[in-house]
Amino acid sequence: MSFLNEKQLKDYDNNGFIAPIDVLSLEEAKEIKKEIEYIEKKWPDELIGLGRNNIHYISPVFDQVCHNSKILDAVETIIGKDILVGGTTLFIKDPDNKAFVSWHQDAKYIGFEPYNWVTAWLAITDTNEENGCMRMWPGSHKEKIKDHQDTYDQNNLLTRGQTVQNVTIEKTIPNILKAGQLSLHHPMIVHGSGPNKSNKRRIGFVIQSYIGTNVNQVLGKIFVQQARGKDTFKYHEHAKRPIELMNKNDMILKNTANEELSKIFYKDAKKIGKY
């Protein structure tokens, strides 16, 4: 039986995203936060810059999130039963910080085609208007890909600071989630997020994205994991799942995958940014 109900699916079709979806308990979310803090303390360079990508290759805790059956049930309802994990990113906003995410459409720069994919944003901490939750422009996924300007703003958490101009906040609604809740968003929806004005960290773990096996990477190379079903298309190199934290070979895989990802994100860009 599918995990998403009819109303949620209708929301996805009409608005381009679904939220909130309960997937983890508060305790489970806290354990994941602890894993981040442990890695940051023991290996301070591991999760910064480009290293914020693909933690699921070096941490069994994050690997298990990507293969969580509740998340996959929801994802299956949208993209079908043959599912790959196409990559992950940690979006962390430290307390009282200017970091923000400009208005953008994921489809503009990720390179996954056709658009049989969905991005899963898991709240590791509560996320709300005060601490810079995502804001979504409902219905914008039904329009075309919009022009994006590369701004390279120092505080922008996106690689090139790619920005859709002239989006007014009134068009958008906040995607408020409790720790352990998930949202799913469409490749074409315009979204972004403001700074964290609270005194606590805001942490999102983003599976970016779950892709159908029929989805190719048209800008470069990615590594994938089989999450469900069968890959008869074989477009991508399959990676194995980690069984221990920071295994040497898994770290090599993460670095290789991130170097390839960087080529995708900066294809035809004027310069390389921080991430």
> Distance between the two ends of the chain, CA-based, in angstroms?
39
Of 84 and 92, nearer to ligand AKG (C-beta) is 92
- The least CB distance from residue 133 to ligand AKG, in Å, is 7
Within a 10 A sphere around the Cβ of 217, how many other Cβ atoms? 20
Query: CA 62 to CA 36: how far, in whole Å?
Result: 9
Q: Which of residues 55-114 bind ligand AKG (CB under 6 A)?
A: 91, 101, 106
Among 8, 119, 172, 181, binds ligand AKG (CB under 6 A): 119
The HSE-up count of residue 147 (CA atoms within 13 Å, CB side) is: 4
206 binding ligand AKG? (CB under 6 A)? yes
Decide if 207 contacts 119 (C-beta within 8 A): yes
Stretch that binds ligand AKG, among 57-65, 67-75, 160-168, 200-208 (CB under 6 A): 200-208
Report how far Cα 181 is from the mean position of its chain's Cα atoms.
Answer: 14
Q: Which of residues 153-182 bind ligand AKG (CB under 6 A)?
A: none
Burial degree of 216 (CB within 10 A; 0-12, 13-18, 19+): middle
Of 121 and 223, nearer to ligand AKG (C-beta) is 121
Stretch that binds ligand AKG, among 4-12, 74-82, 202-210, 254-262 (CB under 6 A): 202-210
Stretch that binds ligand AKG, among 32-40, 142-150, 204-212, 259-267 (CB under 6 A): 204-212
204 binding ligand AKG? (CB under 6 A)? yes
Please give the backbone phi and psi of residue 192, each rounded to the nearest 5 degrees, phi first: -170, -170
- The least CB distance from residue 266 to ligand AKG, in Å, is 17
Token pair for residue 52? 């914020």
Query: CA 55 to CA 265: how far, in whole Å?
Result: 18
Contacting residues toward ligand AKG, per CB under 6 A: 91, 101, 106, 119, 121, 134, 191, 193, 204, 206, 208
